Structure 1
Amino acid sequence: MTKLLQTIEPILWRDERLHLLDQRVLPHKENWLEFHDSDAVAEAIKTMVVRGAPAIGVTAAYGVVLAAREAWFSAGENWQEAINPPLKRLAASRPTAVNLSWAIDRMKTASASLSKYESPEPALLTFAQQIHQEDVKANRTMGQYGADLLDNDSIVLTHCNAGALATAGFGTALGVIRQGFIDGKIEHVYVDETRPWLQGSRLTAWELMQEGIPMTLQADVAAGALMASGQLDWVIVGADRIASNGDTANKIGTYSLAVLAKYHGVKLMVVAPTTTIDWSIDNGSQIPIEQRTGSEVSEIDGRPIAPSEVHVSNPAFDVTPAELIDAIVTESGVVRSPSKENMKQLKSEEEK
């Protein structure tokens, strides 16, 4: 058994402040930012200081703690009203990741039971820390469930970054890869660069190299050739929102991988906590898709790579239909061949 290094923790609460590892400057610089107010946290989520659905949810929970502190100092016993505008700004920071709204709603429910005559910060901090700890525990559980699906010496491909950096620690898709490597199930990992933000080359490659997991970085467009070579066993990815029928929104390019995988007989695993499942929507057509600024595509590090004034489409996510997915792995269990009925069984297990 291989002993791995302790995984990265990108979110810390220390000295009454939120500390985030700035993922925009990795891997060349490890820069921690401190946050004292909720609006700054919302901007950090929007500008991708922190990214990945579970990490966004945990960060938002701490953002609510800061919002409660501000509301108490500004409005006293009327803090429960004063907290609403900053929470709306937090909720609007990124629309696709359902973990964001889930965490804020959970914190709002907790705040409703608190006295209006004393500071809500201590109690809400306890709730936020609980969400944080639950995420790490869920990741490790998912890691084992997913690893158990792999054959020995598997070769896998992952897209974007669904590792410790995208969560409170350990990771979802990379949690499976970490655990699979520990268990001797994974021989090699291929990493898509993941345009336009290059989360694969900047973040996933860095994480895997930190822990000595054998990996190869490739251009996104090389995935089809890799599958055609017959080397690949699984595509393992995370998710930002899963509909109640199993349709899954993930980083743009995941749908293309799913189609290629189906054609080449490569299995596709989606790994995400149950908080990423939006039981209120029937299918993926109801998932809002974030459109980001065109400069992310037309520029690299602020340098133009396309003609000026070019029209750019820059959706941050696409939706993979459930029928292209072999397994959805959650901390509550595994859904094989996801469908409306199979997802209902998972919901029943979750509610027990």
Structure 2
Amino acid sequence: MKADEKNIRPIWFDNDSETVKIIDQRLLPHEFVITDLSTADDVIMAIKEMYVRGAPLIGVTGAYGVYLAAVHSKTEDELIRECERLKAARPTAVNLVWGVDKVLSEVLKKENVSERIDTARKEAAVIAEFEAENCRKIGEYGVSLIEAISRKKHGKPVNLLTHCNAGWLACIEYGTATAPMYAAYEKGIDIHVWVDETRPLNQGARLTAWELGRHGIQHTVITDNAGGHLMQHGMVDMVIVGTDRTTYTGDVANKIGTYLKALAAKDNNIPFYVALPSTTFDWTLRDGLAEIPIEERDPDEVRYIQGADHTSPLKACGQEISPDEIKYVQNSEQHTIRSVLVPPENSPAANYAFDVTPARLVTGFITERGSCKATEEEIKRLFPD
């Protein structure tokens, strides 16, 4: 996809060294920074601290991490230990374990270090292309659902709502929830997207809005709690979200707040679709509410909020600011990225990163093999293997 008129992915190999490059997504949309990952520790840090995020991208990053681990591991046992550490970096996204295990299984078939390194690099690249192609197909299958709504509305704009960021930044190309949106836009279908801000880290307001805007798709950023109001007043035609882990019975773990959107959609008879590649299904879990681990992150992500300070670089909030604090210049205007405390300093906070939407609230899934209902029977029909 394009960023600043250049074709770019959120992760790629540096061909000149044993380095993996990523977009530091913590700083978007106000700073576009590329970060180098040189060791398994770098990869673990990038996943934990959300330099990279989104189930497919986390899986691919884990696969690249196996390559870096292979470069620096002296023995097979050391490599296996590093891969166990990679898999433990974030607990909810099932793609991470899948990506690491898939590369490691091929690497362990090789006898010497050089063969293992070469195999890890090739397998990681294969996984990246596999996920990109999955997302392209999700777009192909999902666009028909948007087309059907457009026909019923006689060409009037189709209003979509999405939560968090399930775009190309969270994947490799196209995204999951955004793939049908991009496909619809390319086919000339008139669409508009309501973009949930998605507290506490505002992945919707920061990342989804950034993506859609650069692609030319009409969108509006809304507060997380505005979706129900819009649905009640006929301003949403369809909800499309992504997922970090989905059981084979249809329960969906996604960014916190997704469950509330599903409830509102159900109450207002609005279709609620989840877009995902097969790699995000967890074929070992049946009861999502009881069995999917829900990550609890640093409460400071709730207590503090980050953004670009547009005030004078020499005086903001009554304090003098040195030129060294100014992080970038954009459109001839100086900005500073700041974090500010919102609640009382001594108030405790809780930061549950995901929730589980029961299958009964999901209209259907959009996958690389087509669409299906959120039932065990339908999922296994689409994925008998």
Within a 5 Å distance, the mapping from 1:71-86 to structure 2 comes to 71=73, 75=74, 79-86=75-82
Residue aligning to 1:20 = 22
Residue aligning to 2:368 = 331
Q: Do the aligned partners of residues 185 and 7 (structure 1) sit closer, same or farther apart at CA in structure 2, a change above 3 Å counting?
A: farther
Q: Tell me by how many angstroms 1:177 deviates.
A: 0.9
* Paired AA for residue 40 in structure 2: S
Q: Do the aligned partners of residues 169 and 97 (structure 1) sit closer, same or farther apart at CA in structure 2, a change above 3 Å counting?
A: same
* Paired AA for residue 28 in structure 1: H
Residue aligning to 1:120 = 116
Q: In the aligned structure 2, how far is the partner of 1:33 from the partner of 1:138?
A: 26
Q: Tell me by how many angstroms 1:220 deviates.
A: 0.7
Q: Tell me by how many angstroms 1:193 deviates.
A: 0.4
**8 Å Cα contact 1:249-1:318 kept in structure 2:** yes
For the residue of structure 1 that corresponds to 2:124, the secondary structure is: helix
Residue aligning to 2:177 = 173
Q: In the aligned structure 1, how far is the partner of 2:113 from the partner of 2:12?
A: 29
Q: Do the aligned partners of residues 309 and 233 (structure 1) sit closer, same or farther apart at CA in structure 2, a change above 3 Å counting?
A: same
* Paired AA for residue 12 in structure 1: W
For the residue of structure 2 that corresponds to 1:148, the secondary structure is: helix
Residue aligning to 2:331 = none
**8 Å Cα contact 2:70-2:113 kept in structure 1:** no
Q: In the aligned structure 2, how far is the partner of 1:32 from the partner of 1:315?
A: 28
Residue aligning to 2:11 = 11
Within a 5 Å distance, the mapping from 1:73-222 to structure 2 comes to 75=74, 79-116=75-112, 118-150=114-146, 151-152=149-150, 153-222=157-226
Q: Tell me by how many angstroms 1:155 deviates.
A: 1.0
For the residue of structure 1 that corresponds to 2:160, the secondary structure is: strand
Q: Do the aligned partners of residues 297 and 11 (structure 1) sit closer, same or farther apart at CA in structure 2, a change above 3 Å counting?
A: same
Q: Tell me by how many angstroms 1:309 deviates.
A: 3.0
* Paired AA for residue 207 in structure 1: E
**8 Å Cα contact 1:177-1:186 kept in structure 2:** no
Q: Tell me by how many angstroms 1:141 deviates.
A: 0.3
Q: In the aligned structure 1, how far is the partner of 2:235 from the partner of 2:7?
A: 28
For the residue of structure 2 that corresponds to 1:289, the secondary structure is: coil
For the residue of structure 1 that corresponds to 2:383, the secondary structure is: helix
- RMSD of aligned alpha carbons: 1.4
Q: Tell me by how many angstroms 1:186 deviates.
A: 4.3
**8 Å Cα contact 2:138-2:179 kept in structure 1:** yes
Q: In the aligned structure 2, how far is the partner of 1:118 from the partner of 1:51?
A: 30
* Paired AA for residue 141 in structure 1: K
Q: Do the aligned partners of residues 321 and 7 (structure 1) sit closer, same or farther apart at CA in structure 2, a change above 3 Å counting?
A: farther
Q: In the aligned structure 1, how far is the partner of 2:113 from the partner of 2:213?
A: 51
Q: Count matched residues.
A: 338
For the residue of structure 1 that corresponds to 2:178, the secondary structure is: helix
For the residue of structure 2 that corresponds to 1:291, the secondary structure is: coil
**8 Å Cα contact 1:147-1:185 kept in structure 2:** no
**8 Å Cα contact 2:201-2:305 kept in structure 1:** no
Identity %: 42
304, 314, 333: which one pairs with 2:341? 304
Q: Do the aligned partners of residues 148 and 195 (structure 1) sit closer, same or farther apart at CA in structure 2, a change above 3 Å counting?
A: same
Q: Tell me by how many angstroms 1:346 deviates.
A: 1.9
Q: TM-score, normalised by structure 1?
A: 0.93
Q: In the aligned structure 2, how far is the partner of 1:244 from the partner of 1:328?
A: 11
User: Deviation string for 1:292-319 (max 9, x for gaps)?
Assistant: 0111111123322112232222110000
User: Deviation string for 1:195-245 (max 9, x for gaps)?
Assistant: 000001100000000011011111111111111111211011000000010
Structure label with greater radius of gyration: 2
* Paired AA for residue 11 in structure 2: I
* Paired AA for residue 83 in structure 2: L
Q: Do the aligned partners of residues 127 and 117 (structure 1) sit closer, same or farther apart at CA in structure 2, a change above 3 Å counting?
A: closer
Q: Tell me by how many angstroms 1:17 deviates.
A: 1.2
**8 Å Cα contact 2:108-2:116 kept in structure 1:** no
Q: Tell me by how many angstroms 1:8 deviates.
A: 4.5
Residue aligning to 2:351 = 314
Q: In the aligned structure 1, how far is the partner of 2:113 from the partner of 2:95?
A: 30
Q: TM-score, normalised by structure 2?
A: 0.85
User: Deviation string for 1:42-69 (max 9, x for gaps)?
Assistant: 1000000000000001111000000000
Residue aligning to 1:240 = 244
Q: Tell me by how many angstroms 1:98 deviates.
A: 0.2
**8 Å Cα contact 1:80-1:116 kept in structure 2:** no
Q: In the aligned structure 2, how far is the partner of 1:138 from the partner of 1:165?
A: 15
For the residue of structure 2 that corresponds to 1:310, the secondary structure is: coil
Q: Tell me by how many angstroms 1:125 deviates.
A: 0.5
Residue aligning to 2:61 = 59
1:295 aligns with 2:300: yes
